[in-house]
Amino acid sequence: MEEKITYARAKEILQNQKISPKGLERVFLYESLGRVLAKDIFASEDMPEVALSNMDGYALSSTMIELSKGIFTILGENPAGNEKKVELPLTQPYAIKTLTGAAIPHNADILVPFENVNIKGETLEINAFPKIGEFIRNIGDNYKKGEKLLSQGVRLNANHIGLLASLNHIFVEVFEKPKVGILVSGNEILEIGESKNNPHCFYNANGHLLYAKVKENGGMPKLYPILKDEKFSIQSCLKDALEECDLVISTGGASVGDYDFIQAISKEWSEKIVFRGVRIKPGQHIIYAHFHKKQFFGLPGFPNSTLVTFELFVKAILTKLCGMPFKEEIVEVTLQEDLQKGDKRLEFRVCNIRHTRGKISIDFEGKKSFQSAILNNFCPLDNARVGLAILEGNKLKGERIPIILLNC
């Protein structure tokens, strides 16, 4: 077990964990939305299989341009989905009306848009000739047979669903969702819907926050009933959760107080703890362990700390269980104000992220104090994107600092 380690060391440990995703399951196309693809997808044929018109126009041969002097005879109409094979004779200047999505007639290599022609009966006068192949989608322009189109580990979105439909995939093989147990402990915690008669009690924000975060990141959450600060009941529920789930997250009880029973239990199982304590603010009392061959995180109880430690640490393991690579979005921005720190720990300070005229900037407008309990700092009223400014020391206006972009 390693204790009170640096953030860099904690990330290194998590990245080096050898964790395989769960088994595979075959789901209907629509049900694959948001799921993680379990196998690479390759094109089974060229797309398109024949050259197609990209717009309404007249198909003709470039070999007839000089002979035609801009005048062509119209032979007929070629609509999209035409089952007949259409061939353009090369005996004299002919053109075939070819609509969007229709196959380009054999021998044709130019498509003249409607707006570039004048029609006089069966005669076509060309005002401007496009380049050969312009406005034509050639065989394999979308993709070629055998081309890799989707990679294992991608989380499928609506665009992927459209591509899979174009490939005639009715069913899709995805990774099973990992089951994630969520334990919340504290005598002062009330479940939402309960009456609050004691001003010293708080509603179960952490449990429902983690439930949503797990679901948002591809897991299958299970929220257990709130646990009172009693060691044996916590230990019993923890054992049940470890049997039922692939990953267990607890919140609260991870500090060093008299009623921090997750910390006490972890001391008894210390040989199974990977690290305990990371020198960061907020969230220094985090625990990562392998209990009963399952993944376990003990997160701090303050909502801000719970959210930050989930983003920094839990996601690195959850994404592996889901079959996805873990990727943090980090950008560097120039500070518009001085920033002061209160202690020597590496700080992750919530900030607003603005995109203005192609540039990214941050500010702390609307952020109250940076205490660990203030969750509403992550919910800006103007719908700005939220990030975590990484502060190693005091920073001056004009300095550049790294920012972790969050999905919230």
What are the tokens at 406?
Answer: 């969050």
Answer whether the bond into residue 48 is a cis peptide, omega within 30°.
Answer: yes
- Of residues 360 and 373, more confidence is placed in 360
What are the tokens at 382?
Answer: 């103007």
The alpha-helical segments, DSSP class H, found in 16-139 are: 65-68
**Quick one: pLDDT at residue 254?**
55
CB-based contacts of 150: which residues, under 8 Å, 6+ apart? 37, 40, 41, 160, 163, 164
Alpha carbon dihedral 221, 18, 154, 316, in 10-degree steps, equals 60
**Quick one: pLDDT at residue 260?**
63
What's the pLDDT band for 371 if we cut at 50, 70, 90? low
Q: Reduced to 3 states, what is the DSSP secondary structure of residue 237?
A: helix
Cβ–Cβ < 8 Å for 58, 117: yes
CB-based contacts of 356: which residues, under 8 Å, 6+ apart? none
Longest Cα–Cα distance of the chain, Å, equals: 97
What are the tokens at 333?
Answer: 């921005």
Domains of the chain: 2-22+177-321 (3.40.980.10), 24-47+142-175 (3.90.105.10), 52-137 (2.170.190.11), 330-405 (2.40.340.10)
Instruction: Map tokens 């693809």 to a residue.
Output: 37
pLDDT, mean of residues 127-145: 96
- The pTM of the full predicted model, rounded to 2 decimals, is 0.87
Determine the Cα–Cα distance for residues 241 and 50; give it in Å rounded to an integer: 56
CB-based contacts of 18: which residues, under 8 Å, 6+ apart? none
**Quick one: pLDDT at residue 141?**
95
What's the pLDDT band for 372 if we cut at 50, 70, 90? low
**Quick one: pLDDT at residue 267?**
73
pLDDT, mean of residues 67-82: 95
pLDDT, mean of residues 277-296: 94
For 200-255, how does the pLDDT look when each residue is reduced to its tens digit (9 = 90+)? 899 999 999 999 999 999 999 999 999 988 888 888 999 999 999 999 999 976 55
For 164-201, how does the pLDDT look when each residue is reduced to its tens digit (9 = 90+)? 999 999 999 999 999 999 999 888 999 999 999 898 89
Q: Could you count the other beta carbons within 10 Å of the beta carbon of residue 15? A: 11
Cβ–Cβ < 8 Å for 246, 323: no
